Amino acid sequence: MKLEDLEKVKFSDNSKLKFDYELSNLNWFNIGGKSKIYLLANSLRDLSKFLKQYNRRGKLFILGAGSNVLFDDNTFDGLIIKLGKNFNNISKLNENLIISGSSCLDKKVSEFAMENEIEGFEFLSCIPGSIGGGIKMNAGCYGKEFKDIIVSVQAIDFLGNVSTIPSSKITFNYRSTNLPKDLIYLSGTFKGSLSTKEKIKIGIDNLKNKKQLSQPFRVKTGGSTFKNPIDQTDKKVWKLIKESIDIKETNKMFGDAMLSEKHCNFMINKDKASSKDMKNLINFIKEKVYNKTGVNLELEIVLTS
């Protein structure tokens, strides 16, 4: 792939272009090789200029907070874009509408909504990703998903065309949407309802407590590894895994890649697991669950190659 011309792109807002850039510090698993090209885009102006120059000449991946992604050990042979400074703003548009840049953490948006006495964003306090990743994944927990609060999404495609997509034009599925794959979400407009700070705080505290009781925290993980196979069975995926493997035994088999004993759908990098260790563990579980229950598990975490 020709790269020289990319170095010549002049940024107005201090965006950073790097080559052979380490990815392991940019994701929750702390795993991954390098990216051949990496862009920290600080503004729409810079992003749009760079996308036009790149002109889809190779692979392109958008990285949010890295809480749902497992990078490969080998170099990603393309461009990884992370959104920076100018995508990190939140504003109140009217009494119950909030607009947030894509690189804002969900938690920050939840706090902003609480401070402004807008209810409906409490679940965001339990999801460690960014707004962009949440839109892409239709992330959710405890009965609420992004679909319940999105009014519209602002996006740019890989060739630099900007659009606003109202939620009525989006089909939201479990941890996915029907939006085209070549979109970079720039921001989202979200709607809640009026409430009081005290009531919202109680809601947030309740959800956080529930989460702490049921899931591991302060570990290198990507959250739920597999989706609940809702089209195949009512059983939760953790239950299928528990029925199909001996977790303690499995945790001795794949180097530092292991399953959380607190929530066995969470994979953990105990220390120095490679992406290969993680993928071997994934394949082992898939096979065991299929053989035992006939259920074909689908990944929730996103793999790059």
Position 126 contacts ligand FAD (CB under 6 A): yes
Distance CA 91, CA 153 (A): 15
One of 129, 188, 192, 229 touching ligand FAD (CB under 6 A) = 129
Q: How far is the CB of 177 from ligand FAD (least distance, A)?
A: 10
176 catalytic residue (yes or no): no
Q: How far is the CB of 303 from ligand FAD (least distance, A)?
A: 10
Q: How far is the CB of 294 from ligand FAD (least distance, A)?
A: 26
Which residues in 27-46 contact ligand FAD (CB under 6 A)?
Answer: 28
One of 39, 139, 273, 295 touching ligand FAD (CB under 6 A) = 139
Catalytic entry in 100, 122, 175, 275: 175
One of 31, 32, 34, 64 touching ligand FAD (CB under 6 A) = 64
One of 221, 225, 265, 293 touching ligand FAD (CB under 6 A) = 221
List the one residue out of 214, 232, 231 whose CA is nearest residue 223. 214
Q: How far is the CB of 236 from ligand FAD (least distance, A)?
A: 13
Binding mask 252-271 for ligand FAD (x = CB under 6 A): --------------------
Catalytic entry in 224, 244, 260, 274: 224
Position 223 contacts ligand FAD (CB under 6 A): yes
Q: Which residues contact 122 (CB under 8 A, 6 or more apart)?
A: 110, 114, 144, 200, 203, 204, 207
Contact 68, 222 (CB under 8 A): yes
Closest to ligand FAD by CB, 172 or 185: 185
Position 133 contacts ligand FAD (CB under 6 A): yes
Q: How far is the CB of 280 from ligand FAD (least distance, A)?
A: 20
Stretch that binds ligand FAD, among 43-51, 55-63, 251-259, 271-279 (CB under 6 A): 55-63
Q: How far is the CB of 128 from ligand FAD (least distance, A)?
A: 5
Q: Which positions are catalytic?
A: 175, 224, 300
Which residues contact ligand FAD by CB under 6 A?
A: 28, 61-69, 83, 102, 126-130, 132-134, 136-137, 139-141, 184-185, 221-223, 302
